[in-house]
Amino acid sequence: MGADMIRVLLCKTTMECHDRGVRYLATKLRDAGLEVIFMNFLEPREIIDTAIEEDVDVIGVSSSVEGHLPVAREVTRRLAELEKENVLVVFGGVIPERDIALLRETGVREVFGPGSSAAAIIEFIRANARVRSFKLESEP
């Protein structure tokens, strides 16, 4: 029996208080059986440091107050440098529609705006994250 072990890094800049959504999402992903690492970041490079250290499959960045484009550019650029493009990067929060295409250009795979359901996000992650199956020694 293999178990899906999708590891998700959820993060939000320390600078803002609009974290109700991302903290709710962290709970829902955990309840759905995903491994969740939640962090507040000051500089985008901290996201990458943590993502590498924790060997995550997904990076989810929540943004409610602008500043998402520089973060997306830095995160995707560093992932490419490290040849870790197989890490799925998604954004969520209050993202103006005109920025969605710009985010996608950087390599962000999906943007979940206000009102998105946790179920839709989980479905997207399951369908698109790299899947690593582990076999426990004791199992046939």
Partner 1 sequence: MSAAANTDQIPSETRPVDTAPNPDGVAGMAFPPQFTAEFVEASRALEQEWRANFDAVSRKFGVNPGDYERHTDSGLPVKPAYFPHDVAGQGYETLSAPGMFPFTRGLHPVQYQFMHWANQPVIGYGLPEETRKRMDYLQSQGMTGYFGNTFYNLVYDLVSHEGVDPDHPAAEGRVGQCGMAVYSREDDARLFDGLQLDRINVVHISYYEVLPVLAHYLAYARRRGVPWGRLGGNSMSWYYQSAYVGMTCFPPKAGMNLAVELVNFCTREMPRWNTVNIFGYGMEESGATAVEELAFSVATGIDYARACVASGLHPDQFLSRFGFQISQSNDFFEEICKIRALRRLWARKCQALGARDPKSMHVRIHTHTSGAMLTAQQPINNLIRTTLHAFGAALAGVQAMEVSTFDEALAIPTEHAHTLALRVQQIIQEESGITRVSDPLGGSYYVESLTNQLEAAAERIIEEVEARGGYHQCHDFVRTRIEASAARWRDLADAKERILVGMNKYQAAETQAIDIFKVNPDSERIAVERIRALRARRDTGRWGKAMSVLDDAARRFTAGEIGVLMPAMIEASDADATTGELMGVLKLHLGWAPPY
Contact residues: partner 1, CB under 8 A: 12-17, 19-20, 23-24, 27, 40, 42-43, 65-71, 94, 96-98, 113-115, 117-119
Minimum CB distance to partner 1, residue 83 (Å): 24
Crossing angle of the two packed helices 97-106 and 68-81, in degrees rounded to 10: 10
Question: Burial level of 94, CB count in 10 A (0-12/13-18/19+)?
Answer: middle
Of 40, 30, 6, 13, which Cα lies nearest the Cα of 94? 13
For residue 90, give the 3-state DSSP assignment: strand
Q: How far apart are CA 15 and CA 66, in angstroms?
A: 11
Report the residue number, 15 or 80, with the smaller CB distance to partner 1.
Answer: 15
For partner 1, give the closer residue by CB, 21 or 57.
21
112 or 129: CB nearest partner 1: 112
Min dist CB 105 to partner 1, Å, is 16
Angle at 77 between CA 81 and CA 33, to 5 degrees: 90
How far is the CA of 99 from the CAs of 1, 57, 95, 119, in angstroms? 42, 24, 7, 24
Question: Measured from the CB of residue 111, what is the shortest distance to partner 1 in angstroms?
Answer: 12
The least CB distance from residue 1 to partner 1, in Å, is 30
For the bound state, the minimum distance from the C-beta of residue 53 to partner 1, rounded and expressed in Å, comes to: 17
Residue placing its CB nearer to partner 1 in the complex, 2 or 114: 114
Kindly tell me which of 12 and 60 has the beta carbon lying closer to partner 1: 12
